[in-house]
Structure 1
Amino acid sequence: MSDSTEQAELDRHAGKMAKKKAARDRMMEGKSGEKGLVIVHTGAGKGKSSSGFGMILRCIAHGMPCAVVQFIKGAWDTGERRLLTENFADLCQFHAMGEGFTWETQDKARDIAAARAGWEKAKELIRDPSIRLVLLDEINIALRYGYLDLEEVLAFLRDEKPHLTHVVLTGRNAAEALIEAADLVTEMTLVKHPFRSGIKAQAGVEF
């Protein structure tokens, strides 16, 4: 490629990027509002909780108080639980309320009681206007099994969540009504997973 041809290509690229920046700037001009979001991470793919904990770490980096309520994995010794409780307890409250997946406890009444206790703690945290983000990890599973009342959760988020508080709800099979009510919904799509090849959950990847 000659110098003149290369320069022409660079000029075309610069012009294209300048147009994109101008369009982006025009789009951003009309977006000055700030609002606490209801965020849903769902789908069969991996990454729902991981994404939620990524947002928790962002809050910590900004010095914003935040909190986690785990509805299912409370019995697990996870890396994120260790990291947050041992290093960032001043900014992030961590409440592991679940006792494991329902096929592990094999006690529906106990599962329901744990889910209800988790929801009561979640409401307390969400009502606190000093807490900027609350992660409700795997709450969608508790809702799917009927351990929590979906209408009660939706009504609380609609009527009692402070205006600037973000709430993240994770877990597969999110209810359609929750998806409709949310401000931001991401569905993780499963393309390939090592579990199907006989590889167990591993530290640093799954927990």
Structure 2
Amino acid sequence: MSQIDNERHQKRQQKLKMQVDERIRQAQQERGLLIVLTGNGKGKSTSGFGTIARAVGHGQKAAVVQFIKGNWECGERDLLSMHGVKFAVMATGFTWETQNKEADQASAQTIWQQAKQMLADPSIDVVLLDELTYMISYHYLDLNEVITAIEQRPESMSVIITGRGAHRRLIDMADTVSEIQSRKHAFDNGLKARKGIDW
């Protein structure tokens, strides 16, 4: 790299640093966040669990509610529960497996009561509501009740919601929304889900 190119690069980086520093200076509000991870791509729950692991790594208290998950092995649950993360699991599996709407609704309501307790607990720093979006789109949970519980949580608590088709009202109230899109998926090409990668 020539001296002129190096100087130009340095000037661009200095300008960028000034812009970033100014944004950091202005971002002084501190409170818990509402994060929505949605879209039809792989990695929403994985991202949510990554944030839970990060919080635990910083000595924070975390809790996880798993909607639509069964009793099968879950690497994240196995690991994080050993580090004090409280789990509430709906344990009915996917709706196409149970094929019983009434039973699924009852299970959703039962697990939602545990979720509400977590959302009201001031000792918890972050709560992951994994696959919550399906409970709303299937009308297993009342959207207004979910929103109220999230709005009334302790100010310092962060909440992460995962799942496809997040309701517009959840997206509107969220601080951060990431939409994960699918370009390719191994399953579509006949590849089995892999332990440690997919579950």
Shorter-chain-normalised TM-score: which range? over 0.9
Aligned to 1:113: 106
Q: CA deviation at 1:8?
A: 2.2
**Residue 88 (str. 1) matches residue 80 (str. 2):** no
Q: Find the structure with the greater CA-based Rg.
A: 1
Q: Aligned residue pairs: how many? A: 199
Aligned residues of 1:71 and 1:114 also touching (Cα < 8 A): no
Q: 1:73 aligns with which of 52, 56, 69?
A: 69
One-letter amino acid matched to 1:105: T
Deviation at 1:74, TM superposition (A): 3.4
In the TM superposition, what is the alpha-carbon distance from 1:162 to its structure 2 partner? 0.9
Name the SS of the counterpart of 2:197 in structure 1. coil
Question: Contact 1:84–1:94 at 8 Å: present in 2 too?
Answer: no
In the alignment, which residue of structure 1 is the partner of 2:121? 128
The one-letter code matched in structure 1 to 2:37 is H
Using the alignment, how far apart are the partners of 2:107 and 2:36 within structure 1? 21
Matched letter for residue 82 of structure 1:
D
**In structure 2, distance between residues paired with 1:180 and 1:23:** 27
Runs of 4 or more consecutive aligned structure 1 residues displaced over 4 Å after TM superposition: none
Instruction: Tell me the alpha carbon deviations over residues 100-156 of structure 1, each in whole angstroms, 9 at most, x when there is no partner.
Output: 011111221221111111111111011111100000111111111111011111122
Q: CA deviation at 1:76?
A: 2.4
Task: Provide the C-alpha distance between the structure 1 equivalents of 2:3 and 2:91, rounded to a whole number of angstroms.
Answer: 61
Query: Deviation digits for residues 39-78 of structure 1, max 9, x if unmatched?
Result: 1111100010000000000101100000001011132211
- Cα distance in 1 between the residues matched to 2:70 and 2:76: 12
Q: What percentage of residue pairs aligned between the two structures are identical?
A: 46
What does residue 15 of structure 2 align with?
19
- In structure 1, runs of 5+ residues without a counterpart are none
Distance in 1 separating the partners of 2:31 and 2:70: 30
RMSD of aligned alpha carbons: 1.2
